[in-house]
Amino acid sequence: DITSYQPLSPEIDTVQNSAVYRGCEGFWAAITPFNFTAIGGHLCSAPALMGNVCLWKPSDTAMLSNYTVYKIYREAGLPPGIINFVPADGPVFGDVITKSPNLAGVNFTGSVRTFKTIWKSVAQNLDSYISYPKLIGECGGKNFHFIHKSADVTSVVVGTIRSAFEYGGQKCSACSRMYIPQSMWPEVKRKMLDILSQIKLGSALDNTVFLSAVIDDKAFKRIKSYIDYAKDSPNLTVIAGGQCDDSQGYFVEPTIIETSDPQDKIMQEEIFGPVLTVFPYPDDEYMKYAQLATKTSPFALTGAVFAKEPKAREELVDAFQDVAGNFYINDKSTGSVVGQQPFGGDRLSGTNDKAGGPYYLTRFVSMQCVKESKVPLETWMLPSMK
């Protein structure tokens, strides 16, 4: 569909206009995360589909699964040298690709800090490039569920549990903060705690386990530091979970924290673990706290509103239009599907190029527009000169 676009040729007998879709001059680099194996295979194959060579640097903690995807590509008939699997130290890989004059672009999913480092490195080498490199980034979020008093309680409870704690909260789209009317919170809290009492934490090889260990020691220490901070803060109360154990694997209990300060740092900073912070707000002040929620975090990836009342629903949808690249109404903030909810966010969440949608692939082509004249030009004079 993308390549079917052709420019207008109003005088087809005399002039033919066309567009040629070319791969970019140079190579693409794909830097992929640990938390979605499919993304590893996707970030390198999207440039290749559009005619580019790609260097694929997998996450250090997803080497085997990503190599399996690479081997499947080769077995399926992908020629050698198109997608190149290049396990490497992150800073070394970044330094090498950004110093090459042939860098055409970087397709990245990972942390804000790493993406900023790449962007700065590209800027420092700008004078050496054949063409300006294209930068695509998806960097995470501080995603919210905003609850109105008209919301369906079961939907709120189940949707928030799923969004906050699936895969140990190690999703860029995971719900990390919830705003809920004070009158609803006791019932929602009771039902969430009841579900948490049934959730097993253990080996991912056991299919009755809802969430397993977090990815590595660095993640464990980061998540634990936020939980320890909450335990020591007068504004925060740990109401569920809060236990961390790295004696055999890196296990963090699904944790719910209640805050009396909607602008506490735990409502602003990405944790990337099974930690949900809840702020109960006065029922009738939902627009005040919706506006506050839009300014609390520097991210703008995903978010959800739960409301059945039409007027409130309309007001909240309007309030959050700039703070979520993927927005959900009466549904959890996770679970986007290719072709159904093309994915990406603004602000520190990334460049919002909407992977899984049709316009994403245009980033990997360099279009050449061609005009062919079928009648020779016979005079040098401008029409206005006659």
Say if CB 138 and CB 344 are below 8 A apart: yes
Which residues, listed in sequence order, are joined to residue 109 by a DSSP beta bridge?
A: 138
Q: Give the active site residues.
A: 138, 172
Name the CA radius of gyration of the chain, rounded: 25
Which residues, listed in sequence order, are joined to residue 373 by a DSSP beta bridge?
A: 15
Where do the DSSP E strands lie in the chain?
Answer: 15-23, 27-31, 53-57, 83-85, 103-109, 134-138, 143-147, 175-181, 236-240, 244-245, 251-252, 255-259, 275-281, 299-300, 302-306, 326-329, 346-347, 365-373
**Terminal CA-to-CA distance of the chain, rounded, Å?**
44
Half-sphere exposure of residue 192: CA atoms within 13 angstroms, side-chain side = 29
Q: How do beta strands 346-347 and 299-300 pair?
A: antiparallel
H-only helix segments in 11-136: 37-49, 63-75, 90-99, 112-124
Least Cα distance to 135 among 148, 123, 124 occurs for 123
